[in-house]
Amino acid sequence: MKMYVCIKQIPDPNTVVSKLDPNTRRLVRSGVSLVLDPGDESTISAAISLRDTIGNSELTAVSMGPTSTQEAMRRALAMGADRAVLVTDPALAGSDALSTARVLAAVLKKEEPDLVFCSTESTDGYTGMVPGGIAEFLGLPQLTFAREITIEGQKAVIKRVTQTGYQTVESQLPAVITIASGSFEAIYPTMKGIMGAKKKPFTQLSLADLGIDASEVGEAGARERVMAIGKVEARAAGQVIKDDGSAAQAIADFLQRYQLL
């Protein structure tokens, strides 16, 4: 089977507070450490394990972003993906979710995938709108919020997370599947994997290679505009105490005072 996983490089969510540049009104990416989205690590791992279970399959990592994204893609290869395709083009800066979906779908269309995996949403933008957009542009069904996946012949069956439990949902292949965060344990790359990643096929494409006009994407093609950036009103600081052995009493006193017990 031809399997694909769409990934993203983002500012490290564990070290930085995401900031907006007041001039460009875009996410600040310079001077912050960039990593493969932690959610994608889990998604890549789910895809690798399915590839290995099904057998005779190939997994390709696909991404769109500045050239620094190569690093995140190398990590996907080190984890076990077989090859990588990166779309990078200066005209893509400022792309909205729809343009991102359009570009990724253009790559995937040429590849004729059986299965496309995405994380439910990225850990920086959180819109969660790219996978559904890709599915729509490819004309494929989307199986979303998957916490378990089974492939039976030309059918995919997933357990789909809901507010109150889960649904069992099926669709024919090809299909786009999104992975609910935390459902699959991330694989850590081995030294052998890291060394091997350098020899794996890595394709870099521009918008021209995909036949997409620069006016359809990037800031020029965005259908939403940031009009103003304001500051959040800070919550008044409360009292902070150090535990000297009586903290449990202090908390219980607090709860009692506000009738929370």
For residues 56 and 259, which CB has a smaller minimum distance to other proteins in the complex? 259
In the region spanning residues 137 to 196, those forming contacts with other proteins, defined by CB under 8 A, are 137, 141-145, 147, 157, 160-172, 180-183, 185
Residue keyed to tokens 């972003």: 65
Query: First-to-last CA distance in the chain?
Result: 57
Binding of other proteins by 13 (CB under 8 A)? yes
Q: What is the DSSP string of 189-205?
A: PPHHHHHHHTTS-EEEE
Write down the least CB distance from residue 199 to other proteins, Å. Answer: 30
> Which amino acid makes up residue 226?
V
**Total number of residues binding other proteins (CB under 8 A)?**
84
Q: Is residue 242 near other proteins by the rule CB under 8 A?
A: yes
Query: Any contact of residue 215 with other proteins (CB under 8 A)?
Result: no
Cβ atoms 4, 60 nearer than 8 A = yes
Q: Does 37 bind other proteins (CB under 8 A)?
A: no
Give 129's contacts (C-beta < 8 A, 6+ positions apart): 97, 98, 101
Q: How far is CA 79 from CA 19, 83, 162, 236, 249, in A?
A: 30, 11, 29, 45, 48
Q: Does 234 bind other proteins (CB under 8 A)?
A: yes
8 part of the interface to other proteins, by CB under 8 A: no
Backbone region of residue 97 per phi and psi (left: phi > 0; alpha: psi in -120 to 50; beta: other values) = alpha
Q: How far is the CB of 243 from other proteins (least distance, A)?
A: 3
Q: Which of the stretches 53-61, 66-74, 87-95, 221-229 binds other proteins when contact is defined by CB under 8 A? A: 221-229
For residue 216, the minimal CB distance to other proteins (Å) is 10
